Structure 1
Amino acid sequence: MGGAAPGVENTTMQLKNLFADEDAVSPVIGVILMVAITVILAAVIGAFVLGIGGSQEQVPQASWEFDSNNQDDINGKETISITHRGGEEMDSDLLSVSVGGEEVYASSSTSGKFSFAGSNDAAWKDSSIGITAGDTLQIQDDEHESSGVGEIEDGEKIVVVWSSSSSESTSIIGTGTVAF
């Protein structure tokens, strides 16, 4: 009786058959893949339906013309003109203008020591009209002559900034340079 203990040979055969038998592997992997694809697809569709992915407001596209004159009106005040030359209509409440880093216009009104100087800037003063091609904003430095503070200098950068109405994002949509 020299041989293996009873049942040992039988156990070895069962282990060999277990590793060699691959009949059930394909259906199990197939079911797992189908469940994973279904879960991912449901998550993507749910994100679109619920708006989780969100949508970003598009920055309006426009071209601008910048002009500056230090003797534009009878008072001899420095004046900057910004003209919408083409592109999309803009809401003046969403625009701001700075000259040399100082904000001179924001949300349909001038800032600080600056005031409107032109007769063609109704769209810039009233947000219900909308700024379209040909609309010009003329801003003058009211304090230059009396105090010399905040004088608009030749070579300063003029920046038009658009602010999103649905978020806190901003974009520079036009730049120019003061050239007297």
Structure 2
Amino acid sequence: MMNFKNEEAVSPVIGVILMVAITVILAAVIAAFVFGMTGSVETTKTVAVTASVNNSKFVVVTFQGGADANSVDYLNLTINGESQTNSLGAPGDAAQDIPKIGGSFTSDDEIVPGNCHAVVVAHFKDGSSQVVLERQL
């Protein structure tokens, strides 16, 4: 008595072609995902700013510079959610067209130390803006 086995399978050539096709499709999907995401990513600018409270209980913001200091248009301070009119290099301020490294400005009103949330936003010449300092004073 003879036993015949049915050995039907995919030939090695077709197997290789399928593996190459899967690899190409996978590479195309990954490339589309990666290159599609990079178009909307903005670069973070490097700017240094410090904030402290002086003896008169006003917040003093000092522009320290940084790698992107030349692209800063002006700095704006917000205390406890209220925007301050004093800023460094404010638009329309002829005396301070560009923020100078080491330049500083003070808040409009006195603060209560320990109960002050200060946020400094840098506005850049390319129209973008970025929070450069956020701290509790």
TM-score, shorter chain, exceeding 0.5 = yes
1:52 aligned residue (11, 32, 36):
36
Residue 157 (structure 1) aligns with:
117
SS in 2 for 1:159: strand
**Structure showing the higher strand proportion among its residues:** 2
Report the aligned-residue RMSD.
3.7
Q: What are the equivalent positions in structure 2 for 1:21-60 lying under 5 Å apart?
A: 24-47=10-33, 52-53=36-37, 54-60=39-45
Q: In the alignment, which residue of structure 2 is the partner of 1:138? A: 106
1:46-79 CA deviation, whole Å, 9 max, x = no partner? 456xx521341122222222233464xxxxxx63
* Residues in 2 aligned to 1:132 and 1:60: alpha-carbon distance in whole angstroms: 17
Does the 8 Å contact 1:160/1:174 carry over to 2?
yes
User: Residues 104 and 34 from structure 1, CA distance in 2 versus in 1: closer, same or farther, beyond 3 angstroms?
Assistant: same
SS at match of 1:174: strand
Larger Rg: 1
CA shift, 1:158, in A, is 1.8
- Structure 1's 57 and 137: CA in aligned 2 closer, same or farther, altered over 3 A? farther
Partner of 2:44: helix, strand, or coil? coil
Take 1:152 and 1:102, find their aligned partners in 2: how far apart are those partners?
13
3-state SS, counterpart of residue 154 of structure 1: coil
| TM-score with structure 2 setting the length | 0.63
> For this pair of structures, how many residues does the alignment match?
127
Work out the CA distance in 2 between the residues paired with 1:42 and 1:132: 49
TM-score by length of 1: 0.51
Amino-acid identity (%): 18
